[in-house]
Chains A and B, each alone.
Chain A
Amino acid sequence: MKNSLVNLYPLTKFYFALFIAATVIIVPNYVFAFAWFPVLILIAVVAGVVKSFLSFILKTLFILLVIVFLMQLFFYPGDEVLASWWIFEVSREGLNYGLTLTSRILAIGSAFILFFRIVEVKDFVKSLEDVGMPSTGAYVVMSTLQIIPEMRRQSNTIMEAQKTRGVETEGSFVNRAKAFFPTLTPLILSSIASTEERAITLEARAFSAPGKKTSLHQLTKRPIDRVLPWVYIIIVIGLIIWRVF
């Protein structure tokens, strides 16, 4: 069970997240949208990522949901007042809108958070390449993911170096603002200079040469990966028809 879920083609999982986003936008009912969350938790349990999934939601989504909900509760214009306190009025419309908005954010947000818990970025990029993203694009995305942590480390090193030269990174606001420039400038200039060498390296490996590129990293598509996307599409079309009539 676990393996068959994790081994789904990355795009099948991605379309599932999009499918959830589409259904909660089509169906204007917050009970329905909130109901997706236990389903996603169940999927996370099966995939064996439930712990990281839930802690991630707590860290990122939870505060946002609380703030969004309170904002609608207190400030959404409505006629039917449920309670009032000092300058704030809580209206039924505000309560409804708050629940609708938070249920959608929770469903869509957690769907994509789960997606990135059960899919390696490398596989996702490869699957995009399979459906027609140019291979240079795949290279750019993958090298970006490598360069970011590298440049983060370099910026820390530069900051330490500038501190030893007497650049202040603590203290008054003006001092801290002044430290931004000497930290980032050397980093940006040296990284830009390094792209010229990288270009030569890539050209030496026939990066721009015309012709079909082969890949070491292969993904397998099973019959279920052909069927499931159609199932999503049929359900979404069905929901749209049900909404209209």
Chain B
Amino acid sequence: MKRNFKKDFTLLALLLIPIGVAINFVGFQVAQILRLPIFLDTIGTILVGVIAGPLVAIVAAFITNSITAIFNPIYFPYVITSMAIGLGAGLLSKFGMFRTIYKAIISGLIITAIAVVASAPITVLFFGGATGNTSSAITATFLAMGQNIWSAVFTSTIITEIADKVISVLFVYFIVKSISDRYLSKMKYGHMYMKKSNRNR
């Protein structure tokens, strides 16, 4: 385990972490500027998971949420969610689930499921079901219709997450396709996405 840990954190993987974290922030910012209805704030975490593996992605996710906490500590509990997303993306990549566009869409759905399972309990237990974003309104609607808190939060989280995560994963899929082979060859799972090796498959 200890040796594995060392092996994953090469210098280039370490330097990818700040980039991944910054992509999370910039993606969110651009989505806000373009007034898109989804967050797109986990693109960096997923990208790091896909090319550098789950461990590096978990660290990137942790740093992302820690920096968000400087500006608003309230949402720090969701660090669990983003770490789970990083872990999921890394493991999916390990099993070649980002190699074709269809597999990438399936990966997007799996990551959606991970995000929902890891964030709905936090929303219910820490915030009683509402955090003041778009999904709170949906949650309130379900509650008014007489659902209990758990199913209301689960349903509203699925609705808000599914588009966000599938689009993020597809975006990462296209980005990885356009990264140079020279760089990919130095990354943990990079060899799977190199154009040369795809030709010989």
Contact = CB atoms under 8 A, between A and B. Distances in A.
Contacts of A75: 129, 140, 143-144, 149
A92 to B, nearest CB: 16
A208 interface: yes
Contact of B128 (A68, A140, A191): A68
Contacts of A67: 130-132, 136
Given A64-B132, A144-B22, A192-B179, A184 B67 contact: no
A192 B183 contact: yes
B15 A109 contact: no
Nearest to A200: B11
Nearest to A111: B73
Could you tell me the dominant secondary structure of chain B's interface residues? helix
A141 B29 CA distance: 20
Contact of B180 (A185, A193, A207): A193
A64 B74 contact: yes
B72 interface: yes
A184 B30 contact: yes
B73 A113 contact: yes
B166 interface: no
B31 interface: yes
Interface in B1-59: 9, 11-12, 14-19, 21-23, 25-27, 29-31, 33-36, 40, 43, 47, 59
A22 B129 CA distance: 22
A242 to B, nearest CB: 24
19 contacts: A71-B139, A87-B144, A98-B128, A108-B73, A112-B73, A112-B76, A140-B59, A140-B63, A144-B18, A144-B22, A147-B18, A148-B26, A176-B34, A176-B36, A180-B30, A184-B30, A188-B23, A189-B175, A199-B11
